[in-house]
Amino acid sequence: MPKVISYTPAWLSKPNPGHEIFTTKTMGAPTASSNGSTASSKRAAKPGPRRTIARRGTEVFIAVGKEIRWADLVYLKEAWEDKQSTNSLSKGKGRDSYNQFEGDHAQGYRIIKTQVAEDIRQLIISPHANYIAILTTHTVHVAILPDPSLLTAADTGPMKLKYYTLGPTTHVTSQSGIASALWHPLGVNGTCLVTVTEDAVVRLWELSTTDRWSFDKPTLAIDLKKLADGTSVDQDFGASVPGTSKGFSPDSFEMEVASACFASRGSGGWSPMTLWIAMREGDIYALCPLLPEKWSPPPTLIPSLSVSIVAKVAAYEDEQGVSPQSKALAQQQLDWMSEIDNQEPSHIEGPPGEPIAEVYLRPGKPGRVPKLQGPFELDLAPEESEQEADELLSDICVIGPKMDADELMFGEEDDLELDEVDQEGLSVGIVCILTSSGRLLVCLDLDGVEAQWLPKAKQKVTRFVEDSNPPSLLTFEALDTSRDSEVRDANWPVFSHDVNSRYSFYITNTSSITFISLAPWVFRMEAELNEATIGTDFRIKILVEGNKSLRERLWTQKSYDKSSPLSASAVIRDPDLGYFLLSATSHGPIALTFEAPDLHFDLERRSRSPTYDPEPDKPLIFFEPRPCYEPAHTLEESSAMPAFIERVRHGKYKRLLQEEVRLSPATLTIITEAHKVISEETHRVGTAAAELFRRCVKLQLDLTNHIAKARDVANRIKAITGDDVDDGQPVITADARVEARIEAAKRRQTELNNRIEDMRRKANRGSNRELSDKEKAWIEEVDTLDHTTATEEGNQEPVDPKGHAARLAKVKKLEEELLDDVHDLSTEKEVATPQKLKVPSEIRKAKMAQVMGLLERESALVEAAKNRLERLSLA
């Protein structure tokens, strides 16, 4: 769960340029509306998704009315820091060095002019970040994004990009509005755009800047209302010709599209080519496989699908009781895959830094239009609510199953290199559904969506058999992200993907931002599904009934500020910015900086050089972060009374402004209208003033709390340094205190060790366990030694004549004989001396040395025997 360490930084606050980029004024140029929240027409006020922030690395594109503001966040941050350092130096010596952040250089932000006629509602960056789709309620424009070096040029004036209008006769204000625009994950170099209109028409646009006709007509158009009632693949499911009159149909109400999405490109199975569509009234559909005419799969997609299809066909041939419909579907998939295997892919170079793409053609058999699967039944769905907003869907997010590289490369010598993100997680797809009331439904796609086509005209299958087993999703969890007081008719919550894990995301509502993480149960469930041991059902039940997903509200909009809804969040992770979330209202940005998760990469640690100097640890944060107070924007707005008076001055009651006030119907009308204007303004000003008063009161409480905390910290510091001792008492230094604590800890440790040793001895004495083989052998050895050294009572002779006692007796006897010999020799010497026998000194010294050596040897033998006997007796 991310921990907020700071809120909107100073370089994105007033009066810095970083704040003005998100508002209706930039460099003093006002615009008509802001962030798509102020409608220029009734059609623009229609509820819908607000994705007005798109990012390319650390660059952000913000839609403000009909304009696009570009900014490099790192550049803005560094410019603000440079300005602060310049101001601090200017108080001293100052500096005259070159500065790239001065006014005559690049400012890190630009205004991009557009060709749209209404306020921009969505900005969608292509996968390779070279195109941007600009959406209003009914139109789509595609712009070519320039290189970042051009955006940071010295010219700071408005910039005009090269625009292409997508479907000039298709996506127009007289037709249905745009529900979603998606870049197909399998498009060639990210140039395939999928548009889904509210009337359930899906169009694929394969864009090419060298072919302007690719922006005029889609390569594939599918009307889902026709496809839902289709019986044969040979039928025409194309969209109706623009301008054709349409009659009423129940499908027009039940199949109003709310949102659509694809799974990520690296997902396993059929997920990258499956389009999920969420209808406004609550139905979920899937379209698989939805491919452009030319498509570029990742290296693992075709091999994995080929293995699964061949295995399925082989299993159906050997298995009894398989329905004809299942066999026909497996044969259709085999024909589809066979046509791909027979192709020789072409190779196209991608953008700089991207690998060469292998391009395949879409198979013509069984058909280019897949079958519409659905509506999906939601098993274990929550009970229907009385609120209509609980049943209206607003957005959908699909997390595809992980790619099983071990199964794919089974029996192969080479290892397949895959991204760690694609290899981790759950082997089952997850479908997250969001309602207008902020309720989140987390569903599991246990059966898995596979490619399906309608049968040929000659192979029609009765619909009763098909509808007997409708597709379903298992509702795993339901979470509420909005309070009852926050639910309004204009609510349209949307998903925002996280950059750290594909199993976490952010939900941006009209007035709140909530973090959701599925990681607590995803990995545990995958382990249980893979092991399938005894007790798995019980453990999965405990997992389902226990605490599941993490949910934390990160930001709540002020209750009185309902006219400026939040834009969909953009999440950035960069070494210069950190872990960063960015949203915006019509009055400025909202930024949250999180504590970066602790990610360790063993490969990087092993590849570091011995002289690598790691970065110092960041200081711990002991304070609770909180957003800075900003006065309500109502206090900065000008009054509407001058405009009202000007309107009356040019109206039919203009003469009343020049006459005395008289009681008349005309005067009552003017006063009533003026009262409406003034009452609304005074209410907003009063609410803002009340908020300011509450903030002032809270500031006093916070200041008191800070003083108390500072006093507590000061007392702790004094207690450590010894400054808290009164005069007249002996002063004990901090070193002495620490040493005393260390000595006390050592004594305590010694006492604990002694107690543990005593307990161990008592436990050993109290145990009645059987002796081990080693202990039994040791006892036998002791008995043998005792038998060899024992002597009978009253008799000094040993029991065992070959034992140690016998050897000791023999040594003692030898010692006595040697001593007798020495005594005899000394006696002979005394006798020989009176006779004055002359013995050479050399012989005498040699003899004495020989005798002394024998004595020392015997003494050593005796001592060794005694010591050994003592040890044996002690043992």
pTM, whole model, 2 decimals?
0.76
Using DSSP bridges, classify how beta strands 140-144 and 131-135 pair: parallel, antiparallel or unpaired.
Answer: antiparallel
- Give the integer Cα–Cα distance in Å for 474 and 379: 5
- The answer to whether the beta carbons of residues 313 and 321 sit under 8 Å apart is no
pLDDT, residue 797, reads 56
What residues contact residue 183 under an 8 Å CB cut-off, 6+ apart? 124, 126, 127, 133, 190, 192, 193, 194
Nearest one of 41, 21, 39, 19 to 29, comparing CA atoms: 21
b or e along 678-703 (b: 16 or more beta carbons within 10 Å of the residue's beta carbon)? eeeeeebeebbeebeeeeeeeeeeee
Encoded amino acid at 709, one letter: K
Residue 792, helix vs strand vs coil: coil
Interatomic CA distance for residues 510 and 491, integer angstroms: 6
H/E element holding 393? strand 393-399
Separation between Cα atoms, residue 71 and residue 64, nearest integer Å: 13
CA 729 from centroid of its chain's CA atoms: 57
Task: Write down the domain spans for the chain.
Answer: 1-165+566-609, 191-202+216-242+251-510+512-556, 640-680, 797-874
Q: Which residues, in sequence order, are CB contacts of 510 under 8 Å at separation 6+?
A: 486, 488, 490, 491, 492, 493, 557, 562, 565, 566
Q: What local confidence, expressed as pLDDT, does residue 467 receive?
A: 47
- The tens digit of pLDDT for each residue in 460-501 reads 444 434 445 789 999 999 999 988 888 888 889 999 999 989
pLDDT < 50 stretches in the chain: 26-44, 411, 413, 460-467, 599-613, 793-794
Q: Which amino acid is at 481?
A: T
How many CB atoms are closer than 10 A to CB 170? 21
Q: How far apart are CA 179 and CA 276, in angstroms?
A: 13
Closest C-alpha to 278, from 411, 90, 441, 150:
441
**Phi/psi of residue 763, nearest 5 degrees:** -65, -40
> Prior bond to 366 cis, omega within 30?
yes
Task: Please answer whether residues 425 and 502 qualify as being in contact, where contact means their C-beta atoms are separated by less than 8 angstroms.
Answer: yes
Contact residues for 832 (Cβ-Cβ < 8 A; gap 6+): 839
Cα(331)–Cα(406) distance, rounded to whole angstroms? 26
Strand partners, 182: 194
Query: How confident is the model at residue 465, as a pLDDT?
Result: 45
Q: What confidence score (pLDDT) does residue 360 get?
A: 95
Cα-only R_g, the chain: 44
Assigned token pair, 851: 């005798």
Distance CA 35, CA 564 (A): 9
Coil, strand or helix at 201? strand
**Residue 103: HSE in the Cβ half-sphere, 13 Å Cα cutoff:** 1
The answer to whether the CB of 227 falls within 8 A of the CB of 207 is no
Cβ atoms 230, 237 nearer than 8 A: yes
Q: Residue 15: is the preceding peptide bond cis (ω within 30°)? A: yes
